[in-house]
A and B are shown apart, each in its own frame.
Chain A
Amino acid sequence: MQDNELILEQLRNNNPFASSYSPMPFENMTPDIAQLNRDASEEIEQLIRHKRREPNVPLAGLVFGAAGIGKTHMMTRILRKLRRNSWPAIFVTIRAFTNPKRVTHELFSEILICLNKQHSGGRSQFDVIAEGMMTAYNENRKSDGFNNISSIDRKIYLRRDMPGIDKNFLKCLLMYLDSESEAEKFEIIEWLRDGLDDEDANRLGLPVRDIELMDEAECERSAKNLLASLGIVLSYAHMPMIICFDELDSIRDKELIQAWGDTIAFIINHIDGILPLCFVKPETWETFKPVINISILQRLRNNTIIMNGTCSPASARQIIHDRIANAFSEGAEEKYQWLISRMGDILTPGLSPRMVIELANKAIKTDLTSENFVKEIYDEEFKKIQNEPSAWPPNSSQLTLALEVWLKSLDGFDLKKGDGKYIKFFGTHGTRHFAFIVLTAKGHSTVNAALKSGISFMKGHPESQCFYITEAKTHKTSWKQVNETLSSFTGLGGTALILDKDKRVSWYALTALINRVDNGDVNVYSSSKPRPASRDDIRDFVKTLRLIEADPLKSKHTDEQKFLSVLSKLISSSPMKILAADKALELMSQNGIIADRNELTAFVKKYSSHFKTFNSNNDILITLNDKE
């Protein structure tokens, strides 16, 4: 018999209730209670079967359910069943939308992020689709009577088989299939998802596709075209794709609801092979109804599915029992009995599975206040993003959301929406004026124009500072013209915050936290009864984050000796003591020294007794001058 203190310590060290938030259905390994939402899952299965049988039939499902009611577990159950029956089905979940003018683009981008995610065996769903297309193609050619299929031009026959497919979409799929380089595959997906700059697109033999340069209508047209092509391939490969919209509860803006409705209408009416499932709370749906096209409302209403996954006290205890048994191979029963008696009569009928898990967590962590509960969720998202950065590719809307909520949490900071294309926010703090540019554009001309708008702002406002926030992944230090403009920008006191792979995590973790709060997925337990958290509830926590250092100018290199010592150390520890300028800038920014390429070049030239440079065909290489 273990004593109570020991049981508590063991549960705290290996807490089966640390996370109540289920990951993607593919990775969901937490125990499931099969009887929860059984009817709903059967109805969804029927819809999928129907879509598979007749991909051209316009179908969609409207699934009503409260937050934490077990959507992910239900979808896991459905996907497992499909796999057991060897039915290939593609599954994607879509996060919250942010830009009403670019909803289809955001949707297509989210689809590609999900499709590109590698699952066990190193394969992604994109691989499955591409291979499925080739299987269908081979079958067709065999029935055409070809013996030597390798000698015929795949592209011509595939276009014949799939009339209406966008030729660049097909080209991307074929290039992806043929490519042996993971880097190239990544670029192909990036071209489809968010475009590439001229140089990278040219290298792949694809036209330039810079989303930031496109006007909104053009961007939406392009996304619709690619989405329709994806639908054509899915039908051809006999693979229905289920799109789960499971953060709809976070959409409040009327324009955004309307834009989402239009996109759903487009999918239902014009795209084969895709089955949208819209998960929403009934009360949220009431706010959607007046805004959405009546025919789509009708279509969704035809397949309304109600999830009623609230737990009876017996199933609540079952959830707790199974989670403990899953986490501990020994002494599980004893721990379960101990925890249940500690929770007393709190497990009343009507709790959602998430609430049951959170209450168990609270019983284990007696010091769990609302504030550190929010921090736990943030840390959980932080780790997820750190482990899987590709699930959060550069996205200026998401960075902007994080920035907005963070700036609003600062005391005495007055924030207004930006008025231009590039400046997202203006701010004032005392007598000082601030402007914030958030950009993840891949085209140098867009970045150049954005920086110039920052320069104009600083010239027009004495005592002002402009922040240019971007990601190291999209900002190329080899852009000559941008580097010149960036020099003028920083010369006027502007700050370039180029987020590297570590720094970006805190920005996207905050976005993920906000999305969960807006979607009603975070509860606070201020009294005995839990209630959904609001943005106000997380303000105190958000304030503690350091998205931008209090005075970022401090991190600019004013101390040449520090610059010299850091650069020398970085080169010294590189293989053969040689480093490309691009990489040097990235590593220096990780060491707290922000410099642009011109500054680095000038510095290395000034200290030619310490450094020697070589020109490669795309960068400068710096080595230590050992003769010194």
Chain B
Amino acid sequence: MERLYFEDFSPGAIAEYGATDVTAEAIVDFARQFDPQPFHLDEEAARETMTGGLIASGWHTAAMLMRMNCDGFLGATAAQGSPGVEELDWKKPVRPGDRLSVRRTVLGARASSSRPAIGVVEFLFEVLNQERETVMTQKGVIFIRRRAAEGGEA
């Protein structure tokens, strides 16, 4: 697999990837572990709540984005984790039957002041549903190794 380094992420670049089918079973599984509220656990109980039906936990959607990022590019990238996420917004409910994908925009790229081998790439991730509606946005940075620093590669 071709390795991607800091230098491969140019500000302004946009990429699209991912196709996660959201099932009621997956929504309930995640919720039982991490977010056991009625609107994430049971279709019938959810109808009585402000969401009007079963919806995915926002943390489940964040986890699905992380997985799509791993499969979509991080698995082939010399990534070194993230110090955090500036903004995470849940724009629309994610419901059973939705198919989610990701639009990734590189917002900025800079050298790390403390670690010369590492670059800091700022990303905007927009999670889209099958209607191309934005259901979640996330803005944050990922540490990525610089090419020159890895095994003396050019």
Q: Do A and B assemble together?
A: no
